[in-house]
Amino acid sequence: MRSRQDPYIRTGAGLLLAGGLLLPVGYLVLHSAPYGALGMSLIILGAICLALARARPPIPPEFGRILLETGLENTGALVEELGLRSRAVYLPSSLTAGPPQALIPLHSNGTMPNIAHALPKRLVARYGPGAEDLGLLVTTPGSRALAALPYPPGASPQEAEAALSAILVGMADLATGVRVSQSGPTVNVTVFGTHLSYAHGHAWLHQCLGSPIASIVATVMAEAMGSPLAVEAEEVKGSRHTITLAMVK
């Protein structure tokens, strides 16, 4: 049950009360349609605030940020302790035993791993026949966000753009817009109005997985295209964040 201290509930109740008083007083007593209309608009806004109070996330945003930081710290510490420097490969759910995940190869010889079959649901997974073909299989924020989408993302840039907008703009409220374009094996994603800091510590982790926004984008695009992807480059200009993804053959 929502607390009465919820700002949306308090605002909604206040607007309903003010509108409920202003509508009859303005229209019936003062015989003024504009005052009556003002009361009516306050009632509508109050009802909307009360409705939206139930749609707010159960975890306060500040606590969510603390949880995100904790998760990044832990994964960053693990990656740093293992001395991993190779870039992660974002896998669609068809190549994992569950939701889409990211594979960070334990050994890197400069080439991206070639993954042909679904990997087992383990932290350390073997992805090839070689002795060194081992990697860390980690769940990313995008993996969880995809599960909350009412429909799976489509393969076309427009469909992927819609899925990314639903996650980054609607669900996570991290950006104000997304644009996706594809040229051959390269996908360019521009995220507008990003609120999440790019270089927020965790430099080691960023080198492997990319920034949190790039990680979400890569997970969603890998699932949309049904193909492994890697974050090739990231560029931040003001609040515009450009991410270049490359298909891993």
Partner 1 sequence: MTILNRYILSLAVASTLTTVVMAAFGEKRLDSYFSLFVIEYLVITLVFAYLSPPARRLLSWVAVALFLGFGALVVSKAVQILQRPPS
Footprint of partner 1 on 125-184 (CB under 8 A): 148, 150, 165-166, 169-171, 173
Exactly one of 17, 51, 147, 203 binds partner 1 (CB under 8 A); that residue is 51
Using the rule CB under 8 A, is 33 a contact of partner 1? yes
Strands of 22-167 (E only): list them. Answer: 89-91, 101-105, 124-126, 134-138
Closest distance between partner 1 and the C-beta of residue 152, in Å?
14
Of the candidates 136, 144, 133, 154, the residue with the CA atom closest to the CA atom of residue 98: 144
By beta-carbon proximity to partner 1, the closer residue of 19 and 105 is: 19
**DSSP annotation of 27:** I
Closest distance between partner 1 and the C-beta of residue 237, in Å?
22
Exactly one of 41, 186, 188, 242 binds partner 1 (CB under 8 A); that residue is 41
Q: What are phi and psi of 105, to 5 degrees?
A: -60, 140
Exactly one of 48, 97, 123, 233 binds partner 1 (CB under 8 A); that residue is 48
Burial class (CB in 10 A: 0-12, 13-18, 19+), 78: middle
DSSP secondary structure letters along 124-154? EEE-SSSTT-EEEEE--HHHHHHHTSSSPPP
Binding residues for partner 1, per CB under 8 A?
8, 27, 33-34, 36-38, 40-41, 44-45, 47-49, 51-52, 54-56, 61, 148, 150, 165-166, 169-171, 173
